[in-house]
């Protein structure tokens, strides 16, 4: 699938990797050093289900992983970054049916809008952007692999994965079984379906139903379950033991638990990912922003209203990526004021030493992507007088490269 264009990233001076890059890992509950073994970092971030436009919750999550990409790149690493598009799944079919539209038209339109939103927000594109539909053959082949490994079984004509086949099942979320059951029911699972070996076992392949799209495969005509889509797309491009699997915290269970279990059994290697990083949920009026709740603030609407995407970026980066956050109009106003102050600071003829600011930004971001601390370091630099003539240009480059905001 076509990705989106990359905004140029300035190269910054000096050693960027003096300290460990620590990221919170949901599986261990602690901070892990996510410096890759070689010169390439491998990242998989779960992509959108394109049935509605990009809202600020999506934007915040993709900005969190964009920050990680920028920190890795500042350390001289190349980043092998894979992101999927769940362009066939129940929510998409339901939305298209509700609106009397063709599901492929909805998926294409909303994916195109997402690309525009990401471009406008200066989010660096993945190196591989892969739709489930275009990856159908490899996903089906992966299901065959799980079947051959003895980890899949039939319920009527559908295929399920046996969680009992995954030795490390439960290590991503560490949730107890009551929590797992409840979340599976809320997030696309079917714990109440009769005939399953374990209520948590997730669907791998849904046999064709009248009126539903289906693809021919060695498993018979049908379509894949959600988790195996990400397991196959990630493993086939990154191999197992890739550095970071990312997404919002609503993906910890079942999605990342199940895709790790599929990945482990299908590859015969553990772990699927070295770290599982999760962004907090952005809410509005006390509720998680979600398509099903309909309480959404869309990036595209704000853009149409003339909002500067740099201000939007700063508004979202003002909260730590891991904390659940509330969006309000004042968040945007604060982002706009900050952007104006930063632009004025960078337009000065002189300022306090740029190298100290750069070191402060690098240190903050290496500490679990602490963007609030990074933002305050730039605030302080802008509010302080200095006589370094090279500082304004270096500050602008640092803010551009590490925080993705253009001050020019
Ligand atoms: N296609 C699947 C992943 S394979 C999916 O979850 N799609 S999504 O469109 O529902 O969400 C895309 C990303 O945005 C996911 O990482 C999800 O965790 C994140 N996300 C969704 N709602 C919010 C929110 N309110 N705040 C922060 N992140 C969110
Ligand atoms: Zn996913």
CA of 220 to the centre of ligand 2 (A): 24
Beta strands 282-284 and 78-85: pairing type?
unpaired
For residue 354, is pLDDT > 80? yes
What does residue 78 show for φ and ψ, rounded to 5 degrees? Answer: -95, 155
pLDDT per residue as tens digits for the range 181-204: 999 999 999 999 999 999 999 999
**Which pLDDT score is estimated for 18?**
78
Task: Choose between 264 and 16: higher pLDDT.
Answer: 264
Record the tokens describing residue 205, joined without a space: 């392949």
For residue 293, is pLDDT > 80? no
Mean per-residue pLDDT of the chain = 96
Q: Which residues contact 159 (CB under 8 A, 6 or more apart)?
A: 143, 147, 152, 153, 203, 204, 205, 219
CA of 45 to the centre of ligand 2 (A): 7
pLDDT per residue as tens digits for the range 125-179: 999 999 999 999 999 999 999 999 999 999 999 999 999 999 999 999 999 999 9
Ranges of H-type helices in 198-328: 226-238, 257-267, 299-304, 309-317
**Which pLDDT score is estimated for 198?**
98
- The residue among 52, 98, 103 whose CA lies nearest residue 290 is 52
Mean pLDDT of all residues in 309-332: 96
**CA–CA separation, 130 vs 86, rounded Å?**
9
CB 83 within 8 A of CB 129: yes
Ligand nearest to the CA of 188: 1
SS3 314: helix
Residue for token digits 């797992």?
Answer: 180
Q: What percent of the chain has pLDDT over 90?
A: 94
SS3 163: helix
**Which pLDDT score is estimated for 286?**
78
Using 50, 70 and 90 to split pLDDT, how confident is the model at 371?
very high
For residue 292, is pLDDT > 80? no
Residue for token digits 């909805």?
Answer: 106
**Which pLDDT score is estimated for 295?**
78
**CA–CA separation, 395 vs 350, rounded Å?**
11
CB 246 within 8 A of CB 44: yes
H or E element that contains 246? strand 242-248
pLDDT per residue as tens digits for the range 240-264: 999 999 999 999 999 999 999 999 9
Q: Supply the residue whose CA is at minimum distance from atom 23 of ligand 1.
A: 57
Using 50, 70 and 90 to split pLDDT, how confident is the model at 16?
confident
Which atom of ligand 1 lies at the shortest distance from residue 89's CA?
1
Ligand nearest to the CA of 57: 1
**Which pLDDT score is estimated for 289?**
76
Beta strands 203-207 and 158-161: pairing type?
antiparallel
Which atom of ligand 1 lies at the shortest distance from residue 283's CA?
25
**Which pLDDT score is estimated for 15?**
84
**Which pLDDT score is estimated for 154?**
98
**Which pLDDT score is estimated for 305?**
96
**Which pLDDT score is estimated for 229?**
98
Using 50, 70 and 90 to split pLDDT, how confident is the model at 297?
very high
Using 50, 70 and 90 to split pLDDT, how confident is the model at 288?
confident
- Find residue 207's DSSP bridge partners: 222
Q: How many CB atoms within 10 Å of residue 136?
A: 18
**CA–CA separation, 364 vs 372, rounded Å?**
9
**Which pLDDT score is estimated for 294?**
73
CB 76 within 8 A of CB 136: no
**CA–CA separation, 28 vs 401, rounded Å?**
30
CA of 403 to the centre of ligand 1 (A): 21
For residue 291, is pLDDT > 80? no
What does residue 342 show for φ and ψ, rounded to 5 degrees? Answer: -70, -40
């Amino acid at each position: 699938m076509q990705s989106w264009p990359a905004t140029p990233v300035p190269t910054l001076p000096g050693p960027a990797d003096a300290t460990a890059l620590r990221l919170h890992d949901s599986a261990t509950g602690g901070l892990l050093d996510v410096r890759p073994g070689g010169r390439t970092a491998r990242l998989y971030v779960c992509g959108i289900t394109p049935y509605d436009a990009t809202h600020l919750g999506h934007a915040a999550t993709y900005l969190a992983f964009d920050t990680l990409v920028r920190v890795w790149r500042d350390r001289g690493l190349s980043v092998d970054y894979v992101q999927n598009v769940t362009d066939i799944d129940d929510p998409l079919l339901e939305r298209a049916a509700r609106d009397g539209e063709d599901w492929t038209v909805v998926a294409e339109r909303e994916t195109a809008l997402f690309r525009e939103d990401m471009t406008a927000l200066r989010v660096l594109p993945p190196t591989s952007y892969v739709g489930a539909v275009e990856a159908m053959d490899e996903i089906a082949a992966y299901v065959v692999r799980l079947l051959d490994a003895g980890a899949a079984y039939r319920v009527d004509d559908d295929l399920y994965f046996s969680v009992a086949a995954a030795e490390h099942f439960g290590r991503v979320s560490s949730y107890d079984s009551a929590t797992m059951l409840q979340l599976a029911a809320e997030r696309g699972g079917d714990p109440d379906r009769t005939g399953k070996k374990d209520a948590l076992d997730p669907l791998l392949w849904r046999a064709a139903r009248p009126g539903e799209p289906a693809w021919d495969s060695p498993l018979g005509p049908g379509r894949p379950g959600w988790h195996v889509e990400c397991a196959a797309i990630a493993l086939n491009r990154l191999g197992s033991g890739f550095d970071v699997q990312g997404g919002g915290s609503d993906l910890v269970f079942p999605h990342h638990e199940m895709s790790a279990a599929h990945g482990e059994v299908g590859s015969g290697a553990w772990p699927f990912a070295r770290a599982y990083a999760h962004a907090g949920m952005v809410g509005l009026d006390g509720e998680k922003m979600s398509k099903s709740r309909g309480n959404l603030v869309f990036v595209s609407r704000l853009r149409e209203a003339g909002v500067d995407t740099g201000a939007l970026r700063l508004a979202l980066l003002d909260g730590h990526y891991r904390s659940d956050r509330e969006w309000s109009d004042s968040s945007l106003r604060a982002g706009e004021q900050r952007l104006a102050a930063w632009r004025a600071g960078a337009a000065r003829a002189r300022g306090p030493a740029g190298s100290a600011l750069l070191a402060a930004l690098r240190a903050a971001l290496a500490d679990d992507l602490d963007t609030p601390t990074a933002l305050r370091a730039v605030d302080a630099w802008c509010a302080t007088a200095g006589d370094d003539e090279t500082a304004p240009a270096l500050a602008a480059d640092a803010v551009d490269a590490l925080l993705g905001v253009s001050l020019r």
